[in-house]
Structure 1
Amino acid sequence: MALFSVAILVKVFVIQHVQGDYWRGMADSLHTRYVALDADRGTIYSEEGRMLSTSIPYFDIRIDFAADGLRDKNGKVFKDNVDSLSIRLARLLGDRTAGEYKQLLREGYKSKDRYFLLKRDVPFEQYQQIRNFPMFRLGKNKGGMIAETKNKRINPFKLLANRTIGLARENAQNVGLERTYNDYLKGVTGKRLMRRIAGGTFVPVEGYDIEPENGRDIITTIDVNMQDIVETALMNMMVDNEAEHGTCILMEVKTGKVKAVANLGRQPDGNYWEDMNYALQVGEPGSTFKLATVIAVLEDKYATMNDLVDMENGRWQVGRRTVFDSEPHKGPQNVSIKHAFELSSNVGMAKLAYQYYYKKPNAFVAHLKKLKLDQNTGIDLVGEGRPVIKNTASKTWSATTLPWMAFGYEVLISPLQTCMLYNAVANNGKMMKPYLVNSIMEFGQVVKQVEPAVVMDSICSKSTLTQVQRMLEGVMISGTGKRLATPYYTIAGKTGTALVANGSRGYADKIYQSSFAGYFPANDPQYTCVVVIKNKSRAKKFYGASVAGPVFREVADKLYAIAVEKQKPMQSSVQIDTLLALKNGKSSEWKEILSTLQLPWQGTVANSGWVSAKVNDRKVAFQTIAQAKGAVPNVTGMGLKDALYLLENAGLRVEVRGAGKVKTQSIPGGSKIGNDQTIVIELS
């Protein structure tokens, strides 16, 4: 028995002191766990600083009925406040009567539930009121209120560029910019230690949180006013023609910035919504592709735009197939290549490709590849369709493939690729990469700047470029686009009408795709715009000039009117102002901001004095600003209020120009103050 007792004591000692950490860890693992603390997701802004996608807080309101304040003096605080609290909750939330709330609260108090759920998904405005209700206003320890924050993603402008901006979804794959820039927007997830209590409920353990790092903000190239113009113009035509789906892209010529992109699809109820990114989907482009054909012919110097081609009365036999023009052409049939292009003659373009490339079709294909039509544009969106440019090694290549490619069939490219090509012509041959994000910001400061990227310095020779520019302008003067011309500014562009196959039914349903690609003003191009609309079967109108063209014209008219009204170039730089712009200021005020917003920071923030603020290693960093007595204060980087306070107290008269924070001051900081001096501060 003595030996048995000693063995037990030895085992107890081993368990407690040798294996103690292991068994205590096992016990904790059964009663504690870490849960993820989501970081605040970054905001997506338009170029002029408007919110396009942001997170708003919602709160789950819980009560700790075992809180000391609720149990002291036989529950005096609870008993004194339960009636008034029930009445206030019933009035604000409206989901229960005051009597029902009183009964609910009594049941929670009786059970001593430490994590009692009162209400889920309370919006911020209601939360602000609830925290000041009777009992809750006493704080967590005395009043027992626990508020758990969670965020819901919203797009304030709703339909506007919805598919491009994208959605941040909890249980599904993100789309648009929300997906492409997810790593920047999502931040770094934190952790919270939770302890299991009676009833299997887990409650937070104070002091063991690993705080999340909030996501960064995205400043896009999207202009909200331009997006509204594009979206409205496209919507009007879609509704009027009961079209299936359509897209309209607006690109800044010199930079490749996508200023607006609308994607509308018809829903089962007949309304339209941004359901797919049609700008990135590939399909047969139709006649807008003829630009690539004439570039190839002119670049190889087989002909000039003034050489003749026979349009054959709009009908030309190739093997067992026939090339048709969309409508017969009146007058002479033996016309210049320029005029055949202006009239959008399929026969004319097919004959050019067949005549000059029949024996070496891959030479024609090489031109298409040089124009990057076989590659994705590389825009910062996931889901860009894969283009198809055939060559003689392709399985589906036939004797008629080459002439059909010449007028936009048997090739697959996206509307964005078409936009990229036309934009290069507008930009004097320089091809720019399209992009949607200007910069990534943290606490109002740029941490990554996106610059315009040149894909190709020149898509063709100067001679070829001059000729195709004149041909595109000619379309609007004496060609298929002449009804779209305006006396106020010049347009260069190309119409397109393509018959679209409908699955196994082929082309029998007469579904047409209408398109228009062009730029304006033609003499000083500022914007390139591409419109592609897929019409319903046997639509009342389907020609590119009748469906897509008016959308282009409406966009161009409104943008030109805005430019004339402002009396400045259509291209303008806009100052970005975000919600978290850092300014130099008073230490005590910065201390209050840090405490209220719970921002991560480093450096010294005393109760008095002045500090400069900047972002360093994802934290707000501070440095003391020395202000010598009798010297001009250094107010650069401060807001107007602080700058005026310091300068006027120093005896200076202040003249203010601009708005924002101080960019420059006419008298440098540290200079000796003279008598009756005036200082000019410029804000930006």
Structure 2
Amino acid sequence: MEIKKDILWRVYLCVIGMGLFAIAILAKVFVIQNVQGAKWRSLADSMQTQYITLDADRGTIYSEEGRMLSTSIPYFDIRVDFAADGLRENNGKIFSENVDSLAIALNKLFQDRSIKSYKNILEKGYRNKSRYFLLKRDITFEQYQQIREFPMFRLGKNKGGMITETKNKRINPFQLLANRTIGLYRDNAQNVGLERTYNQELSGVTGKRLMRRIAGGTFVPMDGFDIEPENGKDVVTTIDVNMQDIAESALMKMMVENECEHGTCILMEVKTGKIKAIANLGRQPDGSYWEDFNYALQVGEPGSTFKLATMISLLEDHYVTPQDHVDLNYGRWQIGRRTVYDSEPHHLTDVTVKHAFERSSNVAMAKLVYQYYKADPNKFVDHLKKLKLDEITGIDLVGEGHPIIKTTASKTWSATSLPWMAFGYEVGQSPLQTCMLYNAVANNGKMMRPYLVNAVMEYGKTVKYYEPQVMLDSICSRTTLRQLQDMLVGVVNNGTGKTLASPYYAIAGKTGTALVANGKRGYADKIYQSSFAGYFPAENPQFTCVVVIKNKAHAKKFYGASVAGPVFKEVADKLFAIAVDKHQPMQGNEQIDTLLAVKSGQGSDWTYIMNTLQLPWQGMLSRKNWVNADIEDHRFSFQPMALQHGYVPNVKGMGLKDALFLLENAGLKVQVKGSGKVVNQSLAGGTAIADNKTIVIELS
């Protein structure tokens, strides 16, 4: 009996325990469903659905004349929903009827798989009922247009199962041209250039798309739950593609020829400060060149182009005039334990300040600045600060280097800092700052801030316009300005830049040759920085151009006039021909050049030329005759050509085309020697033509 009670007690205890456990479970279920239900349902939904970001179409960067410099090109991923209702109904009739022709079309378009291989992967996706099957990745818009018309796919998403995902890739259509200035846009990477500066305007506003998880952990888009992105705005730059091409080509030619390390060429519009071209080339490990860094913004010792700022100080303080004299000491002057040398050896002593500037004498600049500012060096420094040489230009590019202008309070100031600063050492300037200063002289003293963007546009309408900004109304007095302009013209006509002079227009500018330190090796490797800064045409300045090139060690050419100068000259010559406002014509009577080479020919051709160009002529000329043409008394002279049937025509003085026409029409077989116009014929004009006659004509 006791045993039975003991067993029953244990059974009751277990039943009670199980009952309490069941009650606890039911209570927990109630709490989860009614108290925490919203929380867990939300968590379940988040595990099955999620939002992904839809990138906005990035805006386009245009040149000033409307050419695309950087734009986004759409690329497409093609996926297939093999569980689409249309593909599964009627035992997959649509799929079975189209799979062969679809495989053939895919093979023909992409040519990367066999027809059998394409059919196999399509059938495999169909058997597995893949809802988000990746068929092709990164196809072009042209390929997308074709594939959407393929068998099965042309039936639409629900019947054909085709799913398209669009994404954009950023490209620079002109590739090398201004590549560093335009910049580079990459996802999850550091951007540069205008792509970085105007990223907010170009980016637009991202959208969202709701995606649902399906079997296999793949997410597919849910229709009707997209938040469309807002496309980015367009940026219109000041860059002119033709001018950029001219600058880039001229710089590249010299870089390759002299195996230079890196270089830059900046072209600025004088009146506005617009940057029309900015080329930057650096030597790559394989010896090629690419726009790898914006050297126009890199700060370094400018060398002799800085002497313009030195002359502004001396002239403004009335310490010297261009006609005053200075002793060049044969190009060598010792101060303390250091010696100043002129870059090019000479035997000059007593010369004018103007001539010293034209010769780019370091000795002259150092002696004059030391003589007049040694008692108060900061007075000279204050002039440099007034010229904004201690400030960045503020151009709309990230990464502009900060200039270095020492004062007596600087830790590195020494007894020789002042004279060395006078000729461009112990100071730091970027090529762009140099360009800004020379542009101010070209612009009659008004200093303009350089800039690269004209406007921001949205759907073809301007939403923000950038106007030229004046930094200084006048950098110096009118008298000083005229003296500076005359001295800069003198550099090209009589000084270190005389190899750059043009017979068609005047150039104003300054050469520069600076020895560059090479790390711990110092100046032992003889690495020079060659530069030329100037503007053209000097009588009516429209463009300022600065070229700065760092040469390799022990380069065969390193002077500014022989390395940077030819780049400037090529840019100036080409722009003078195509972009400079029409200059005043030379005075004089209209005359025909007696050295012109003219050819005899059809009267109709010559009549058209004379009437179109309004040229003076004399003699007998009509649209129906053939004429001998010549130049007499500064006028075109025409005499009719006698042509008789059965006789050899006289074709001397004609071009090959006209000569062949007459001779072959006369029944002659013609052999040709040389090129140009006919100077001799084996059968004289007027000779009777026999059967099967051959004539040899010589051209020169």
Query: TM-score band (shorter)?
Result: 0.7 to 0.9
> Superposition pairs for residues 29-48 of structure 1, below 5 Å?
29-48=46-65
Q: What's the counterpart of residue 307 of structure 2?
A: 290
For 2:487 and 2:99, how far apart are their aligned partners in 1? 81
* Residue 329 of structure 1 pairs with residue 336 of structure 2: no
* Matches of 1:361 and 1:141, distance apart in 2: 82
Give yes or no for the alignment of 1:242 onto 2:259.
yes
**2: CA distance between counterparts of 1:466 and 1:549?**
23
Question: Is 1:398 aligned with 2:434?
Answer: no
Equivalent residue, structure 2, for 1:490: 506
Once residues 256 and 549 of structure 2 are traced to their aligned partners in structure 1, the CA distance between those partners, rounded to angstroms, is 12
Could you say if the C-alpha distance between residues 476 and 568 of structure 1 is closer, same or farther in structure 2, counting changes exceeding 3 Å?
Answer: closer
2:133 equivalent among 106, 116, 121: 116
- Secondary structure in 2 aligned to 1:388? coil
Provide Cα deviations, 1:575-624, integer angstroms capped at 9, x if missing partner: xxxxxxxxxxxxxxxxxxxxxxxxxxxxxxxxxxxxxxxxxxxxxxxxxx
Q: Which residue is equivalent to 1:157?
A: 174
For 1:233, the aligned partner's letter is: A
Residue from 576, 580, 586 that aligns with 1:560: 576
* Alpha-carbon separation, structure 2, partners of 1:47 and 1:294: 36
> Is 1:100 matched up with 2:117?
yes
Cα-to-partner distance string for 1:521-566 (whole Å, 9 max, x where unaligned): 1111100000001111111111111111111111010001114797
Please name the residue that 1:253 is paired with.
270
Question: For 1:146 and 1:436, how far apart are their aligned partners in 2?
Answer: 42
CA 1:266–1:502 in 2, change beyond 3 Å: closer, same or farther? Answer: same
- The answer as to whether partners of 2:448 and 2:470 remain within 8 angstroms in 1 is yes
Partner of 2:361: 345
In structure 1, the partner of 2:330 is: 313
Maintained 8 Å contact 2:542/2:580: no
Q: 1:510 aligns with which of 508, 526, 529?
A: 526
TM-score (norm 1): 0.81
TM-score, with normalisation over the residues of structure 2?
Answer: 0.79
Name the aligned partner's letter for residue 482 of structure 2: T
In the aligned structure 1, how far is the partner of 2:584 from the partner of 2:20? 101
Any idea what the Cα deviations from partners look like across 1:33-64, whole Å, max 9, x if unmatched? 11111110000000000000000011111001
- Structure 1 residue identity aligned to 2:143: Q
Q: Which amino acid aligns with 1:118?
A: L
The one-letter amino acid of 1:162's match is N
4+ residue runs of structure 1 moved beyond 6 angstroms? 1-10, 564-569
Q: Secondary structure at the match of 2:354?
A: helix
**1:446 has 2:462 as partner:** yes
Partners of 1:272 and 1:78 in 2: how far apart?
Answer: 54
1:610 aligns with: none
Q: Is the 8 A contact 2:325 2:353 kept in 1?
A: yes
Structure 1 spans left out of the alignment, 5+ residues = 570-684
2-side partners of 1:113 and 1:460: how far apart? 77
Separation of aligned partners in 2, 1:67 and 1:308? 94
Residue 412 of structure 1 aligns to a residue in which SS?
coil
Aligned position for 2:42: 25
**Structure 2: how far apart are the matches of 1:487 and 1:563?**
18
DSSP-derived class of the 1:215 partner: coil
The code of the aligned residue for 2:479 comes to S
Residue 524 (1) aligns with residue 548 (2): no
Distance 1:174 1:416, change over 3 A: same
Map 1:164-243 to 2 at 5 A: 164-243=181-260
Deviation of 1:16 after TM superposition, in Å, equals 3.7
Q: Which residue of 1 aligns with 2:98?
A: 81
Structure 1 residues 568 and 19, CA gap change in structure 2 (3 angstroms): farther
**Whole-angstrom CA distance in 1 between matches of 2:173 and 2:568:** 26
Once the 2 structures are TM-superposed, how far is the Cα of residue 94 of structure 1 from its aligned partner?
1.4
Cα offset for 1:171? 3.4
CA 1:566–1:346 in 2, change beyond 3 Å: closer, same or farther? closer
Q: Which residue identity is paired with 1:358?
A: K
- The residue type paired with residue 197 of structure 1 is I
Give 1:649's aligned residue: none
Pairing of 1:469-618 with structure 2 (within 5 A): 469-563=485-579
Is residue 331–residue 342 contact of structure 2 (8 Å, CA) maintained in 1? yes
Any idea what SS the aligned residue of 1:85 has? helix
Cα distance in 1 for partners of 2:580, 2:82 equals 67
Superposition deviation, residue 4 in structure 1: 8.3
Rounded to whole Å, the distance in 2 between the matches of 1:426 and 1:443 is 38
Contact 2:530 2:560 in 1 (8 A): yes
Q: Which residue number corresponds to residue 473 of structure 2?
A: 457
Question: Is residue 74 of structure 2 the alignment partner of residue 57 of structure 1?
Answer: yes
The count of residues paired between Structure 1 and Structure 2 equals 568
Deviates more, 1:459-468 or 1:354-363: 459-468
Bigger drift between 466-475 and 436-445 goes to 466-475
Letter in 2 for 1:298: L
> Between the two proteins, what is the percent identity of the paired residues?
77
- Shift in CA distance, 380/565, structure 1 to aligned 2, threshold 3 Å: closer
Q: Offset of 1:15 from its aligned partner? A: 3.8
Match in the other structure for 2:689: none
Query: In structure 2, the residue corresponding to 1:156 is in which secondary structure?
Result: coil
Matched letter for residue 362 of structure 1: N
Unaligned runs of 5+ in 2: 1-17, 586-700
Deviation sequence 1:454-494 (CA, Å, 0-9, x none): 11111111121111111111111111111111111111100
Deviations 1:642-681 (A, max 9, x none): xxxxxxxxxxxxxxxxxxxxxxxxxxxxxxxxxxxxxxxx
> Are the aligned partners of 2:59 and 2:232 in contact in 1 as well (CA < 8 Å)?
yes
Aligned to 1:277: 294
Of 429, 444, 452, the match for 1:413 = 429
Distance of 2:487 and 2:73 partners within structure 1: 52
Match of 2:371 among 325, 338, 355: 355
2:485 maps to amino acid:
Q
Equivalent residue for 2:658?
Answer: none
The alignment partner of 2:410 has SS state of coil
Structure 1 match to 2:280: 263
Question: Would you say the 8 A contact 2:331–2:347 is kept in 1?
Answer: no
Partner of 1:371: 387
Provide the residue aligned with 1:668 in structure 2. Answer: none
Please tell me the residue identity of whatever aligns with 1:179.
R
- 1:567 Cα deviation after fit: 7.9
- Residue in 2 aligned with 1:422? 438
Query: 1:114-167: per-residue Cα shift (whole Å, max 9, x none)?
Result: 100111111111111011000000000000000100100000001000000011
Amino acid at match of 1:41: R
Residue 383 of structure 1 is aligned with which of 387, 399, 407? 399
Q: Which residue of 2 aligns with 1:147?
A: 164
**What does the per-residue CA deviation read over 1:221-276, in whole Å, with 9 as the maximum and x for residues that have no partner?**
00000000100111111111111110000000000000000000111111111011
1:5 CA drift (Å): 7.6
Question: How far is 1:9 from its partner?
Answer: 6.3
- Cα distance per residue 1:154-187 (max 9 Å; x no partner): 0000100000001111232111000100001111
Aligned letter for 2:287? G
Contact 2:301 2:514 in 1 (8 A): yes
Larger radius of gyration: 2
1:584 maps to which residue?
A: none
